[in-house]
Structure 1
Amino acid sequence: MRKYEFMTIFPTEENQFKTGLVQVKQVLSEYGVEIEKEEPFGDRELCYEIKKQRRGRFTLLVIAANPAKISEIDKRLKLNADILKYMFVRIDT
């Protein structure tokens, strides 16, 4: 298991944010990912428009995941309409 920082950007509407976060956590748990830390970054202005949104709600998750499963998780999350953007960054320890 490797550690990753998983940054997500959701729409600022409360219901889309909550459902999106629940869906992300559900997908991660299906692939055996351990969420070690969850840190909300709040609402921020986006540098450019994403899916007709100028603001987004950022959340950082520190996770431990099998590297082989990251591409499968990526495919599942691309289908989620409640996520504006996301990115996995491997943490070197």
Structure 2
Amino acid sequence: MRKYELMVVFPMEEDLFKTGTDTVRQTLTEFGAQIISEEPYGERDLTYEIKKRTRGRYLLFNINAEPANIVEIDRQFKLNTNILTFLFIRVEE
């Protein structure tokens, strides 16, 4: 397993944020990723408009996952309408 940081940006609405975070956690555990920590970064302005939104809620996940599973997790996140954008970054040990 490798270490990754996952930054996810959610819509500002509380219900969309809550369902989005639950879905992210569920998808990660479904594909065998271990969530080490979650760190909220709060509400921030987006650099550019995404899905007609200019602000979002940022949440950073530190996870352990197999590289082959990251591709499938990425595909699942692209289908999730409660996620504005996300980024996986591999952490060197």
Q: Provide the TM-score with structure 1 as the length reference.
A: 0.99
Residue 35 of structure 1 is matched in structure 2 by: 35
Which consecutive residues of structure 2, in runs of 5 or more, have no partner in the other structure? none
Q: Provide the TM-score with structure 2 as the length reference.
A: 0.99
Q: Deviations over 1:17-74 (max 9, x none)?
A: 0000000100001001000010000000011100000000000000000011100111
Partners of 1:62 and 1:88 lie apart in 2 by 10
Partners of 1:47 and 1:79 lie apart in 2 by 22
Residue 88 of structure 2 is matched in structure 1 by: 88
Partners of 1:76 and 1:8 lie apart in 2 by 13
What is the correspondence of 1:1-93 to structure 2 with a 5 Å cutoff? 1-93=1-93
Partners of 2:46 and 2:90 lie apart in 1 by 23
Percent identical? 54
RMSD: 0.4
Give the match's secondary structure for 1:77: helix
Partners of 1:17 and 1:6 lie apart in 2 by 16
Aligned pairs, number: 93
Which consecutive residues of structure 1, in runs of 5 or more, have no partner in the other structure? none
Q: Any runs of at least 4 consecutive aligned residues in structure 1 with deviations exceeding 2 A, and if so which?
A: none
Q: Which amino acid aligns with 2:21?
A: L
Partners of 1:28 and 1:62 lie apart in 2 by 11
Partners of 1:2 and 1:22 lie apart in 2 by 23
How far residue 89 of structure 1 moved from its aligned partner, in angstroms, is 0.1
